[in-house]
């Protein structure tokens, strides 16, 4: 199976699983006479962009041939940076309509991924130059 086909099947399975859980929660709440409570817009946006930031940072760190531990550290640092930005702009994240927020989130994700990639390359360069001196 081609990697692209495999990835698309994984995305489809995850999407169907999430949709199934939401539908199941809706029917459970409806059959028991309860109201279905969803998290706030801010919480949903925070989690979804956290996943996207982690994915793109891991992909970029892998592209510059980082180790598995290095990729994990990059994703952790990027996640923390994303949390700081999101909580710093909490009103903006929670109140922007969909398309302007998508633009904000995509620019933020791009800048975080580029920053982490450049930091990894900088530390790799300084580590290699330090070894050649001794």
Q: What is the pLDDT along the chain (134 residues), one digit of tens a residue?
A: 787 888 888 888 888 998 898 888 888 888 888 887 777 888 888 888 999 999 899 888 888 877 888 888 889 999 999 999 989 888 888 888 888 888 888 999 999 999 988 888 888 777 777 665 54
Q: What are phi and psi of 114, to 5 degrees?
A: -65, -40
Q: Where are the domains of the chain?
A: 1-38, 39-133
Q: What is the per-residue pLDDT for 79?
A: 92
Contacts of 77 (CB under 8 A, 6+ apart): 116
The pLDDT value recorded for residue 130 is: 64
Write down the pLDDT at residue 82. Answer: 92
109 vs 107: CA distance, rounded Å: 5
pLDDT at 112: 92
Q: How far apart are the first and last CA of the chain?
A: 48
Query: pTM for the complete prediction?
Result: 0.69
33 φψ region: left (φ > 0), alpha (ψ -120 to 50), beta (else): left
pLDDT at 132: 54
**What whole-number distance in Å separates Cα of residue 55 and Cα of residue 78?**
10
């Amino acid at each position: 199976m081609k990697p692209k086909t495999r990835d698309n099947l994984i995305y489809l399975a995850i999407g169907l699983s999430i949709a199934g859980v939401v539908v199941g929660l809706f029917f459970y709440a409806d059959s028991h006479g309860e109201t279905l409570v969803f998290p706030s817009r801010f919480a949903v946006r925070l989690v979804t962009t956290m996943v996207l930031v982690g994915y793109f940072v891991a992909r970029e760190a892998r592209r510059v041939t980082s180790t598995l531990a290095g990729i994990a550290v990059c994703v952790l640092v990027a996640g923390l940076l994303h949390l700081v930005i999101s909580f710093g702009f909490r009103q903006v994240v929670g109140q922007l309509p969909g398309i302007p927020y998508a633009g904000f989130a995509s620019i933020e994700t791009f800048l975080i991924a580029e920053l982490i990639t450049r930091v990894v390359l900088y530390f790799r360069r300084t580590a290699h130059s330090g070894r050649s001196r001794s």
